[in-house]
Chain A
Amino acid sequence: MSEKLNQLSFIIGVFFILVALVLLIGYLTTSSLKHGINLYTGMAMMIFGLVMIKLKA
């Protein structure tokens, strides 16, 4: 785990997954966040985050 934390791509991946979760969970649970743009951006950030985590340093 500590080795992974030293990889920048892993850190960036985790960051974007967390931001994506805020957007996606907000979209599903909060009326003021229920906008298509939140859903699409959240999905795009989730995919980007997962790709970054999969990347080798």
Chain B
Amino acid sequence: MNLHFADYLVILIYFVFVVAVGVIIKKKITSSNDFLNSNKSIPLWITSIAFISANLGAQEVLGMVASGAKYGIMTVHFYWVGAIFAMVFLGVFMMPFYYGSKARSVPEYLFLRFDEKTRALNALTFAAMTIFSSGISLYALAKLLEVILHWNFDLCIWIAAGIVMAYTLLGGLTSAVYNEVLQFFLIVLGLSPLVIVALQDAGGWDTIKTNLEPQLTHAWKYMGDADANPMGIHFMSLIFGLGFVMSFGYWCTDFLVVQRAMIAKNMSAAQRTPIIAAIPKMFMPLIVVLPGVIAIALTKSALDSGDYRIPTDATGGYDYTMTLPSLIAHYYPSGLLGVGITALIASFMSGMAGNVTAFNAVFTYDIYQAYFFKNKSDKHYLNVGKLVTLFGILFSIGTAYIAASFNNINDFLQLVFSFVNGPLFATFLLGMFWKRTTGHGAFWGLVAGTLAAAITHGLTIAEGKGGWISPIYPISSGMGQAFIVASFSWMANFFTTIAVSLVTKPKPDEELRGLVYSLTEKVYGTEKRWYLKPAPLGIILLVITILLNIIFF
């Protein structure tokens, strides 16, 4: 893939703009709250787009196109089962506690609701995960640019990290959030032409449906039998593993995304942030799943309308990860090629900046201020926040090089993340809706959930992974294995938390007001018009989501 002057110009304009956003925002940063929490002043439309954009990192964009090619239209489950319901639940039921408790972070909510040790466990694991995720984004970006453009790997790492550092250090969270909005539009507008031309080349959706195996063009029809669908999972595993445990665990408890709603101007806007974000999320499969399905359709000989093929790896199998870059290289001429490459770069940088800004808030508030220096001036915490941002970027660079040195480090880290994240929603669900839940219950529940995840992974094997204790239960896809691991970890956390809570002393009711559903005064919002209220909006979205599932059944 060779770039023209116009392509370089588009990339340069993007870099100049993201840094310029940081420079413009810098003037408004006068306190630690401005830098780490945007002073809760961001308009609803921006928090909503940032909410979805924080999740629109490289793993999402490249990974979902790859899954679209590998699993077909079933990949939409990550949106219509694994996102919308949880986002609506977060907006309607959970945001009142996050926002109303005045907590500055998710670990801080755990401190208010439970105790120090639960906060510490969550803050430390989250801080480590964000740094590794940020580093993996950086590594993946540099690797991609090295492979498709033959750019120097080290130079890519340092330039990308330098640009992210410039705008996050200058403007803090606000700068990251503003750039996430820019990146969102760039990704959508930059990849939309690809979908149109590739779909046209494939002869339209009806032709694709006629020529592909029906398992690849139906979302639910073949899920009654795990052996009959490409993901190799039964619909019950999907609904519980993805639709409940993994989805709610990520969208409702991961500070990286929840932070975007917590910086809204008021409670009403905070509640509506994930719900408004669910609207573009619902239609994201058009941008990130459909290209994968089109790619596999074009690759199959039955649809020999062009010369596009999904690249193959060293073993001769399809290299699904390269599906999107190969589509861009095939269909985009000079000019638009620069836009496509910039969209890919934007998705990587968005993922990295999102992780770094979540890391600096959690480290400053939940580790540094909580355990080291409690009563310092605001100026002190502002400087610490900036320093943590700088070190966060440097650690990310280090992690990127670690990822480059070990072939399996990415898979290993993703696995560890799933062990930690999988059970987390049980802690929040019980903590918010059962006042009897205790700090000891929450802590040991999290530990038991993580252990259960590791054991389940050790006893199951899929695509050669897992089974390190004893491979007694084979599963046909890694994705199916992830759902089962998450399900067992959630159940272990849920029942352990209940059991330990029943034998330990709960906090008195007075300390739980505003933190637990039954002890919190119900606020139905100040908005008078029904379409501005979270619940009616959420119901409409759920109905549309169910209809989409039926249409693509």
For residue B300, CB closer than 8 A to chain A, the reply is no
For residue A23, CB closer than 8 A to chain B, the reply is yes
For residue B74, CB closer than 8 A to chain A, the reply is no
Contact between chains at A26 and B185 (CB < 8 Å): no
Contact between chains at A19 and B185 (CB < 8 Å): no
Query: For residue B333, which residue of chain A has the nearest CB?
Result: A35
Question: When the two chains form the complex, which single residue of A15, A26, A41 contacts B334, counting CB atoms closer than 8 Å?
Answer: A26
Given A6-B24, A19-B339, check contact A44 B189 (CB 8 Å): yes
> Which residues of chain B have a CB within 8 Å of any CB of chain A?
4, 6, 9-10, 13-14, 17, 20-21, 24, 43, 46, 178, 181-182, 185, 189, 193, 197, 331-336, 338-339
Contact between chains at B43 and A11 (CB < 8 Å): no
Q: Would you mind naming 6 contact pairs between A and B with Cβ atoms under 8 Å apart?
A: A19-B10, A22-B13, A30-B334, A33-B4, A37-B193, A45-B189
Contact between chains at B185 and A16 (CB < 8 Å): yes
How would residues 16 to 39 of chain A score, 1 for a CB under 8 Å from any chain B CB and 0 otherwise?
101100110011001011010110
Q: Which residues of A contact B181 (CB under 8 A)?
A: 8, 12
Q: Which residues of B contact A45 (CB under 8 A)?
A: 189
Given A11-B21, A33-B4, check contact A26 B335 (CB 8 Å): yes
Contact between chains at A23 and B185 (CB < 8 Å): no
Could you tell me the distance in whole angstroms from the C-beta of A32 to the nearest C-beta in chain B?
5
Contact between chains at B336 and A32 (CB < 8 Å): no
Give the CA-CA distance A42 to B333 in the complex, in Å.
13
Interface of B is mostly: helix
The CB with the most chain A CB atoms within 10 A, among B9, B181, B336, B339, is that of: B336
Give the CA-CA distance A19 to B369 in the complex, in Å.
44
Query: For residue A57, which residue of chain B has the nearest CB?
Result: B43
> Which residues of chain A have a CB within 8 Å of any CB of chain B?
5-6, 8, 11-12, 15-16, 18-19, 22-23, 26-27, 30, 32-33, 35, 37-38, 40-42, 44-45, 48, 57
Give the CA-CA distance A48 to B338 in the complex, in Å.
18
Contact between chains at A32 and B333 (CB < 8 Å): yes
11 further interface pairs, Cβ-Cβ under 8 Å (given A32-B334, A37-B197): A8-B46, A11-B20, A11-B24, A12-B185, A15-B14, A22-B6, A26-B334, A27-B335, A32-B4, A37-B333, A38-B336
Question: When the two chains form the complex, which single residue of A12, A15, A33 contacts B335, counting CB atoms closer than 8 Å?
Answer: A33
Query: For residue A11, which residue of chain B has the nearest CB?
Result: B21
Give the CA-CA distance A12 to B466 in the complex, in Å.
45
Q: Which residues of B contact A6 (CB under 8 A)?
A: 24
Q: Which residues of A contact B6 (CB under 8 A)?
A: 22-23, 26, 30, 33
Q: Which residues of A contact B333 (CB under 8 A)?
A: 32-33, 35, 37-38
Contact between chains at B182 and A11 (CB < 8 Å): yes
Contact between chains at B335 and A18 (CB < 8 Å): no
Contact between chains at B13 and A12 (CB < 8 Å): no
Give the CA-CA distance A19 to B13 in the complex, in Å.
8
Question: When the two chains form the complex, which single residue of B10, B17, B21, B189 contacts A48, counting CB atoms closer than 8 Å?
Answer: B189
Give the CA-CA distance A34 to B189 in the complex, in Å.
20
Query: For residue B18, which residue of chain A has the nearest CB?
Result: A15
Give the CA-CA distance A12 to B332 in the complex, in Å.
23
Contact between chains at B193 and A15 (CB < 8 Å): no
Q: Which residues of B contact A41 (CB under 8 A)?
A: 189, 193, 336, 339
Q: Which residues of A contact B185 (CB under 8 A)?
A: 12, 16, 48
Question: When the two chains form the complex, which single residue of A11, A18, A35, A42 contacts B13, counting CB atoms closer than 8 Å?
Answer: A18
The CB with the most chain B CB atoms within 10 A, among A6, A19, A26, A35, is that of: A19
Question: When the two chains form the complex, which single residue of A11, A18, A23, A48 contacts B336, counting CB atoms closer than 8 Å?
Answer: A23
Q: Which residues of B contact A18 (CB under 8 A)?
A: 13
Q: Which residues of B contact A11 (CB under 8 A)?
A: 17, 20-21, 24, 178, 182
Contact between chains at A15 and B336 (CB < 8 Å): no
Query: For residue B13, which residue of chain A has the nearest CB?
Result: A18
Q: Which residues of A contact B193 (CB under 8 A)?
A: 37, 40-41
Question: When the two chains form the complex, which single residue of B21, B24, B46, B335 contacts A23, counting CB atoms closer than 8 Å?
Answer: B335
Give the CA-CA distance A11 to B46 in the complex, in Å.
13
Contact between chains at B10 and A15 (CB < 8 Å): no
Contact between chains at A37 and B24 (CB < 8 Å): no
Give the CA-CA distance A44 to B190 in the complex, in Å.
11
Contact between chains at B10 and A22 (CB < 8 Å): yes
Contact between chains at A12 and B182 (CB < 8 Å): yes
Give the CA-CA distance A30 to B13 in the complex, in Å.
19
- 6 pairs of A and B residues whose beta carbons are closest in the complex: A35-B333, A33-B335, A26-B6, A38-B335, A26-B335, A41-B193
Could you tell me the distance in whole angstroms from the C-beta of B361 to the nearest C-beta in chain A?
21
